[in-house]
């Protein structure tokens, strides 16, 4: 049995969960019990559109619509935790993430796509809290634009994220494959040119390990450029 999934999204700036200035539409021809659609939409949003930010700002207008036309001819999915339900949700989540990440890639003035992955937390919530602290920091975002491997800015954002009992001596930091900080300080084998090489890439992954547990979460963001300032400074002129 083949089912089809498609979608479209719109967004450029003022993008920060809960969704913000964004339109997202995701459709499938699979048959799904209508009673599951609200839960499915929430779980898809939480794994995609509610994990992105351009500038940390939001607005009053957003929509995410999930549609199932029941035209594929499959037996209706009655539970999201069933084998068919899990397979369908995974496929729809993959498309939703592509759409959400496309909003980040097309962000106002964006020149780089950045994945912020935080592992080793006591809960997914605190991992997400740290990830957003990094993703929303103007100093971090401008460092990415300048291809400046400024470790202090990233570590500072981890520190002020709001985890009261954070032990900085357990923090590990990677830029892609480069281990830049260990036990809260500069890694003894880290070389500035290795960090520079990563920061010059169009796509960068920042990995933070908190050393507190087994939870993890991921946020997608972009850099902060001259064009972003120009676009928003001229918005009403």
SS3 of 45-86? HHCCHHHECCCCCCCCCEEEEEEECCCCCCCCECCCCCHHHH
Domains of the chain and any CATH numbers = 5-105 (3.30.2330.10), 113-233 (3.10.20.340)
Specify whether the CB–CB gap between 76 and 130 falls below 8 A: no
pLDDT of the residue at 13: 66
pLDDT of the residue at 237: 62
Q: Which of 6, 21, 28, 111 is catalytic?
A: 21
Residues 128-151 pLDDT 10s? 999 999 999 999 999 999 999 999
Residues 6+ positions from 76 with CB-CB distance below 8 Å: 31, 32, 33, 70
Q: Which two tokens stand for residue 72?
A: 């594929």
pLDDT of the residue at 201: 97
pLDDT of the residue at 207: 98
pTM comes to 0.93
Residue 205 is among the residues annotated as catalytic for this protein: no
pLDDT band with cut points at 50, 70 and 90 for residue 19: low
Supply the DSSP symbol for 201: S
Residues 36-77 pLDDT 10s? 999 999 999 999 999 999 888 877 778 889 999 999 999 999
């Amino acid at each position: 049995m083949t089912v089809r999934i498609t979608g479209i999204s719109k967004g450029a700036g003022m993008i920060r969960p809960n969704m913000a200035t964004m339109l997202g539409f995701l459709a499938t021809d699979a048959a799904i019990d209508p009673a599951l659609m609200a839960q499915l939409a929430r779980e898809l949003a939480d794994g995609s559109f509610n994990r992105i930010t351009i500038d940390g700002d939001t607005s009053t207008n957003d929509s995410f619509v999930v549609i199932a036309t029941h035209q594929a001819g499959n037996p209706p999915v009655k539970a999201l935790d069933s084998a068919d339900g899990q397979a369908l949700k995974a496929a729809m989540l993959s498309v939703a993430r592509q759409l959400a990440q496309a909003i980040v890639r097309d962000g106002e003035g964006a020149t780089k796509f950045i994945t912020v992955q935080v592992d080793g937390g006591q809960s997914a919530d605190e991992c997400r809290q740290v990830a957003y602290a990094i993703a929303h920091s103007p100093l971090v975002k401008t460092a990415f634009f300048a291809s400046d491997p400024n470790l202090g800015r990233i570590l500072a954002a981890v520190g002020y994220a709001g985890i009261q009992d954070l032990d900085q001596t357990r923090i590990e930091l990677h830029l892609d494959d480069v281990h830049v900080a260990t036990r809260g300080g500069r890694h003894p084998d880290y070389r500035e040119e290795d960090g520079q090489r990563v920061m010059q890439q169009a796509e960068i992954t920042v990995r933070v390990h908190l050393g507190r547990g087994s939870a993890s979460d991921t946020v997608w963001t972009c850099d902060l450029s001259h064009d972003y300032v120009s676009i928003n400074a001229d918005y009403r002129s």
